[in-house]
A and B are shown apart, each in its own frame.
Chain A
Amino acid sequence: MDLPSQDQSARNPVRALAEKLAASLGGPDAPYRAQRTFTATMMHLMASLLQAASDADPAVQNEVLGFPEGLVIGMSVLGDTPQMRLRKTGSRLVRLASSDPAKPNLAIIFKHLTHAFLVLSFQESTARSFANDRMITQGDVALAMRLVRCLNRMEAVTLPKLVAERALKAYPDLPLAEKLSLSVRTYAYLLRDVWRNR
């Protein structure tokens, strides 16, 4: 099959119109730039919420205690900038500053920015993303499963049920009063951390 030459595509009015439209919206990479900003923001928020949940939620604390001391957990995008890192310190997960050179012992790496965006915008659950082979897990699988349980619990507590149901394989049996109480505590710890780091 012959591929169209650049001249031919330049003569194709539909293609030319599409290219003009994309250029007027910021070029063909505009969606990726938006995804990059969104993904970086969400990873920052997730790391902060995981840190807060490890202070506020006994279920998350119980899981965190199973991580080896000093373990550095990372989530990133292959060959791209968005990333989050946390270190297990005592019974807590502590978000690492971008200047900290620590390399993750346990890492979840999305193969492309768009794959991370699908998960972090709740269009695709973590389990579906894994089943679709969109991420690489580096490190001990048992610890990765523990991290997934922490993430699931944090999302179930901090997200509205309608959103959490899109992020999780199954929304847990979490009574509304307990969810509200834990959610308020988690967000309170989040605000405390933001205040301390201002």
Chain B
Amino acid sequence: MSSPYFSFFCPVKVIAGFKALEHIPYELGTHGAKRPLLVTDRGVRGAGLVEIVTAALSSGSVTVPAIFDDVPPDSSTTVVAEAARLYRQNDCDSIVAVGGGSVIDTAKAVNILVSEGGDNLRAYCGASVLKRPLRPFFVLPTTSGTGSEVTSVCVVKDIEAGVKLPFVSQYLLPNVAVLDPRLTLGLPPFFTAATAMDALTHAVEAFTGLAKNPISDAYATAAIKKVAVNIVPVLTNPKDAPRRLELALAATMAGIAFSNSMVGLVHALGHSVGAIAHVPHGVCMSVLLPYVLEYNLDARRDAIGELLLPLAGSDIYAATRSSERAEKTLVHLRKLRDELFALAGLPRTLSETGKVPREKLPDIARLALDDGALVTNPVEAQYEQALAVLERAY
């Protein structure tokens, strides 16, 4: 066993809470920016969220010269090039992303092109290729799950080559993340539940993985507590703005945790289920999390047991023997999963998604072996073990 070592990095300024959007004009000014390109998608625009943002900006003497709202759920190099063209045509000087994971990833990639010049995004693909800071970049998440507002990664599809291009650089991190409950108030119950479980999974995998560290642990446990305390009340009363904000904070804190500790087998399997059966990412996370924790239980009994405190609260934690806390954590996760099924129709098993044919499980298990997230899972998983977890989750 080698001596402990870790690194931790998060330079993103987080602005959160009541009337947070109204801080953006000042923050843009501190970065010397006054003409942001707004990147979003049709769904966000249709929900009226773009108008809320532009009103907050224009009342603060910031005009938005252009809005790119053509981001699809699975973004591509073509879309990124179009948005970059719009940025240049309108002489923009910064980027404001308003949306979920795809919008934020697209905006990160647009920032590469408009900062580095040219239209060849492929040239910047890979880890640590970017060597200097990019244009001022603000992110306003409209879902509470991905944590992309605090991660240094984006993935964009290269349609010509038929591959997904990953970009990893500290310079992709936004300068500012703005969490305003007005942006998530209208999120439907199903997506509220799925994205909250995405955030919970980020935090649980960060806390139980090989790369866990004391600082990411603090973010992870705080995020888990926020999801556990607020998700059911939000589903019962979707217009509860303070609790919506708590879920948004949970997603950001879980994002900070996992971007410094990485994820594990839940994500490796979940990415493969998503790629082969097109099940939404948050649903995959929710379904697979209890089964992967069961698989990791012996190797991570202490860490999983510690999660009982943020998940179930101090009374239950104190009343449970330390030797039984890990199993009790799993009981509470399953209970939460059942509540989300009852309140939001979130599937509890792969078969309940209605999208995963059983005969596809071997293909999913094989694909998962090629996922980088597997490296930091605390327990080695080969094809047989991956397939066994999928079978149990079916």
Contacts and interface: CB of A to CB of B under 8 A. Distances in A.
A133 interface: yes
A131 interface: yes
A142 B127 CA distance: 14
Given A127-B210, A130-B376, A145 B127 contact: no
A142 B370 contact: yes
Nearest to B6: A132
A144 B372 contact: yes
A114 to B, nearest CB: 11
A131 B262 contact: yes
B323 interface: no
B302 interface: no
A130 B6 CA distance: 11
Contacts of A192: none
Given A131-B210, A136-B128, A145 B2 contact: no
Contacts of B379: 169-170
A127 B6 contact: no
Contact of A138 (B126, B372, B376): B126
Interface residues of B, number: 22
B380 A124 contact: no
Contacts of A137: 127, 372
A178 B311 CA distance: 46
Contacts of B27: none
Contacts of B375: 127, 130-131, 145, 148
Contacts of A149: 369
Contacts of B382: 172
B306 interface: no
Contacts of A142: 370-371
B371 A145 contact: yes
B374 interface: yes
Given A139-B126, A141-B166, A170-B379, A128 B2 contact: yes
Contacts of A43: none
Contacts of A41: none
A34 to B, nearest CB: 18
A132 B211 contact: yes
B372 A145 contact: yes
B209 interface: yes
B2 A133 contact: no
Contacts of A145: 369-372, 374-375
Interface string A20-31: 000000000000
Contacts of A118: 2
B376 A127 contact: yes
Contacts of B371: 141-142, 145
Nearest to A139: B126
Nearest to A146: B370
Interface in B203-227: 209-211
A132 B5 CA distance: 6
Contacts of B2: 118, 123-124, 128
Interface string A160-176: 00000000111010000
27 contacts: A123-B2, A127-B210, A127-B375, A128-B2, A128-B210, A130-B375, A130-B376, A131-B209, A131-B375, A131-B376, A132-B5, A132-B6, A132-B211, A133-B7, A133-B211, A137-B372, A138-B126, A138-B127, A142-B370, A145-B370, A145-B371, A146-B370, A168-B380, A169-B380, A170-B379, A170-B380, A172-B382
Given A118-B2, A133-B7, 8 more contacts: A128-B210, A131-B375, A132-B5, A136-B127, A141-B372, A145-B371, A145-B375, A146-B370
> What 5 pairs across the A-B complex have the smallest Cβ distances?
A142-B370, A170-B380, A131-B211, A131-B210, A124-B2
